[in-house]
Chain A
Amino acid sequence: MHELPVINSILKVVMKHAVMNNVNKVVAVHLQVGELSDLEDKWMQQYFDYLTKGGIAEGARLVIERMPVVMKCEECGASYEADLKKNKKVSCPECGSEKNTLISGREYFVKNLEAI
Chain B
Amino acid sequence: MAENGTGIGAAVKRKEDMRFITGAGRYTDDIDQAGQACAVFLRSPHARATIGGIDTGAALQVPGVVAVYTGADLAADGIGDLPCGWLVKSKDGSDMIQPPHPPLAVERVNYVGEPYGLVIADSLQAARDGAEAVVADFDDLPAVVGVATADQADQLHESVPNNQCYDWELGDKVATDAAFANADHVASLDIVNNRLIPNAMEPRAAVGDYDAASGVYTLHTTSQNPHLERLVLAAFVQVAPESRLRVVSPDVGGGFGSKIFVYAEETAVIWAAGKLRRAVKWRAERSESFLADAHGRDHVTKAELALSSDGTFLGLRVKTIANMGAYLSTFASSVPTYLYGTLMAGQYKTPAIYVEVRAMFTNTAPVDAYRGAGRPEATYVVERLVETAARDLSMDLAEIRRRNFIQPEDFPYATPVALTYDTGDYEASLDKALRHIDYQGFGARRAASEANGNRRGIGFSSYIEACGLAPSQVALSLGAGVGLFESAEVRVNVTGSVTVITGSHSHGQGHETTFAQVVSDRLGIPLDDVEVVHGDTARSDYGLGTYGSRSIAVGGSALIRATDKIIAKGKKIVAHNFETTEDNIDFTDGIFAEHESNRSMAFAEVAFAAYVPANFPLDELEPGLSEKAFYDPGNFTYPAGTHICEVEIDGETGVPTIAAFVAVDDFGHVINPMIVEGQVHGGLCQGIGQALLEHGVYDDAGQLVTGSYMDYCMPRADDVPSFTVDTTVTPCTHNPLGVKGCGEAGAIGATAAVMNAVTDALGVKSLPMPATPETVWKALGSAG
Tell me whether A and B are bound partners. Answer: no
A interface residues (Cβ-Cβ under 8 A, vs B): none
